[in-house]
């Protein structure tokens, strides 16, 4: 047992070391300074007088929409030419018209070496632009959710691909004609675009936090794994048996008031993470009141009667579409609560070759083999498990669609 413990600690420390090596810059502002979080160097350049306020960890910085701005160290510029991932969270106060969130451009006279994120209140849309010249210019728009105070922007560069995520959803995959080399004379700056006077745009008024630049392209799964869950329920939709309880866990929040409904089957309807004991399947809704902004979220807790289980009715979809659109991207068992133990879950292609297997009930397949996407077509699964102490074997086919 002691050997297993030491192995776990070693693996954990190794993962943390690898993670640290892959991060070029991380500004979490938890100590209310502008220094990089891990090595306290290099610093971020502020303008005006940003205020240190509540954030995703301990603190974030509030910029006032006037003179305030934040600019990442110019040492980040050279890293933008290679594979990278830029990730940050922002919270905007209500502003009318066009709002400058962040940019990296040397001027406003051309589309050369451009990267910018703006918000338009008239259509409630974010607009992201990127390009190296007028013939290699790309843009994407996305409606901003009104259910969240905090939002997340992620840009992934992998060779000539640029993937844009808003609130963890991949909204566009850009194939660039050439590598976009960003100007060494510009800076990655928040609320300080050189185009603000030309476009008559507002500087962003709100909070900025967890600005992170990775030295490589993160995968979809890594992006989700690194999510901070601000004003969000961390517990996923799940099933429990009648008479059981489950802790509904919230992520980080700056809310002064938290309200859950319905609260009758909760131990505390105003707790950040209440204990739920529903007698029937229930959708719980939570409101995080931050004063000037309110976030909402829901979770569905299904209640099953153990005495009425159909052990043969293992639920898996007849098809799935692993295209990174956030819908039906992974293949797995829906009603895992049926399974007491699972000996194996295996997937085979049409020629009988095994392409995936697991012993973990909740693990799901992403449609790849050794990291490479597999082609559309018919596949077969075999699952050997026990339910109510009875051995079961479930075999069926399904379709992978790309």
- List, for residues 168-218, the tens digit of each pLDDT value: 999 999 999 999 988 888 889 999 999 998 888 999 999 999 999 999 999
- Would the pLDDT of 283 be above 80? yes
48: left (phi over 0), alpha (psi -120 to 50) or beta: left
What rounded mean pLDDT belongs to the chain?
91
- pLDDT for 85: 97
- pLDDT for 90: 98
CA distance 348 to 369: 11
- Would the pLDDT of 16 be above 50? no
Are residues 151 and 91 in contact, defined by beta-carbon separation less than 8 angstroms? yes
CA distance 276 to 377: 42
If one compares 79 and 380, the residue with the highest pLDDT of the two is 380
State how far Cα 19 lies from the chain centre: 17
Long-range contacts formed by 245-250: CB under 8 A, 24+ apart: 245/275, 245/276, 245/277, 246/275, 246/276, 246/301, 247/273, 247/274, 247/275, 247/276, 248/273, 248/274, 248/275, 248/276, 248/284, 248/299, 248/301, 249/273, 250/286, 250/288
Are residues 355 and 371 in contact, defined by beta-carbon separation less than 8 angstroms? no
If one compares 239 and 53, the residue with the highest pLDDT of the two is 53
Are residues 25 and 54 in contact, defined by beta-carbon separation less than 8 angstroms? no
Burial class from Cβ neighbours inside 10 Å (0-12, 13-18, 19+) for residue 130 reads buried
If one compares 5 and 102, the residue with the highest pLDDT of the two is 102
Q: Which residues of 291-325 are buried (b: 16+ CB within 10 A; e: fewer)?
A: eebbbbbebebebbeeeeeebeebebeeebbbeee
Please report where in the chains the tokens 């098809």 appear, as a residue: 319
Q: For residue 339, how many other CB atoms are within 10 A of its CB?
A: 18
Q: Which tens digits make up the pLDDT trace of 35-72?
A: 998 876 788 999 999 999 999 999 999 999 999 999 99
pTM of the full predicted structure? 0.82
Q: Could you give the 3-state DSSP secondary structure of residue 77? A: helix
Q: Could you give the 3-state DSSP secondary structure of residue 337? A: helix
Q: Give all domains of the chain, ordered by start, each with its CATH number.
A: 22-225 (2.60.120.200), 238-306 (2.60.40.10), 310-400 (2.60.40)
Categorize the per-residue pLDDT at 15 as very low, low, confident or very high, splitting at 50, 70 and 90: very low
């Amino acid at each position: 047992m002691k050997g297993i413990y030491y192995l776990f600690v070693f693996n954990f420390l190794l993962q943390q070391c690898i993670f640290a090596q892959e991060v070029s810059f991380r500004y979490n502002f938890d100590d209310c300074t502008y220094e990089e979080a891990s090595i306290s160097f290099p610093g971020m350049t502020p303008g005006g007088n940003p205020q240190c306020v509540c954030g995703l960890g301990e603190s974030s910085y509030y910029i006032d929409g006037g003179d305030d701005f934040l600019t990442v160290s110019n040492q980040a510029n050279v890293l933008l030419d290679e594979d990278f991932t830029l990730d940050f969270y922002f919270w905007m106060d209500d502003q009318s018209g066009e709002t400058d969130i962040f940019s990296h451009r040397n001027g406003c006279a051309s589309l050369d070496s451009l990267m910018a994120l703006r918000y338009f209140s008239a259509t409630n849309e974010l607009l992201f632009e990127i390009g190296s010249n007028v013939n290699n210019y790309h843009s994407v728009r996305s409606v901003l959710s009104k259910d969240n105070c905090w939002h997340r922007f992620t840009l992934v560069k992998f060779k000539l691909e640029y993937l844009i995520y808003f609130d963890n959803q991949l909204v566009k995959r850009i194939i660039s004609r050439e590598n976009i080399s960003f100007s060494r004379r510009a800076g990655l700056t928040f609320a300080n675009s050189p185009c603000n006077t030309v476009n008559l745009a507002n500087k962003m008024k709100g909070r900025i936090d967890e600005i992170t630049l990775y030295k490589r392209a993160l995968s979809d799964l890594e992006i989700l794994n690194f999510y901070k869950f601000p004003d969000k329920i961390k517990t996923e939709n799940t099933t429990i048996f009648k008479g059981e309880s489950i802790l509904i866990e919230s992520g980080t929040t700056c809310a002064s008031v938290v309200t859950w409904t319905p609260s009758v089957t909760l131990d505390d309807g105003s707790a950040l993470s209440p204990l739920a004991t529903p007698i029937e399947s229930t959708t719980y809704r939570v409101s995080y009141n931050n004063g000037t902004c309110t976030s909402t979220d829901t979770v569905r807790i299904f209640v099953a009667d153990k005495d009425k289980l159909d052990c043969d009715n293992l639920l898996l979809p007849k098809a799935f579409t692993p295209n990174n659109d956030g819908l039906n991207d992974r293949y797995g068992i829906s009603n895992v609560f049926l399974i007491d133990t699972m000996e194996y879950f295996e997937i085979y292609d049409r020629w009988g070759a095994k392409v995936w297997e697991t012993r973990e009930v909740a693990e799901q397949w992403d449609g790849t083999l050794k990291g490479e996407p597999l082609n559309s077509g018919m596949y077969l699964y075999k699952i050997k498990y026990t339910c109510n102490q009875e051995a079961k074997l479930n075999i069926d086919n399904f379709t992978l669609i790309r």
